Amino acid sequence: MASFNNILCAVDFDRNSLLALRVASELARSSKGILHIFHVVGLPSDTSSFEKLETTAQRKLERLASRVCEAVQYRVHVTDGNPDVEILLMATHLRAN
């Protein structure tokens, strides 16, 4: 089995991304890699509410990770912008494999 050092899992809190997180967690556990859990907050029309959205997403990811990522080293990342672009940028930045 291939070894993965940096695993990026984008989570938008829908059912499919939660299932993907479980698979990524297992992959990280078996390869002893680091799991990077990533959420992109879309920019609201009222940018003053962004901080609240970001904080809420951060808390949700932390709670989710503590339940799903047992015995796995993980990091939680939250940013804003276009998910398509931000996920590719994060994958490049982390050198995810």
Task: Provide the whole-model pTM.
Answer: 0.88
pLDDT of residue 92: 96
Q: What is the mean pLDDT of residues 28-42?
A: 94
Q: Can you list the positions of beta strands (E) in the chain?
A: 6-10, 34-41, 73-80
Q: How many Å separate Cα 12 from the centre of its chain?
A: 8
Q: What is the pLDDT of residues 44-81, one digit of tens each?
A: 666 667 778 888 999 999 999 999 998 899 999 999 88
pLDDT of residue 15: 96
pLDDT at 1 over 60: no
Average pLDDT, the chain: 90
pLDDT band at 2 (very low <50, low <70, confident <90, very high): low
Vertex 51 angle, CA 82 and 8, to 5°: 45
Q: What is the mean pLDDT of residues 80-93?
A: 94
Q: How far apart, in Å, are the Cα atoms of 62 and each of 47, 70, 76?
A: 23, 12, 7
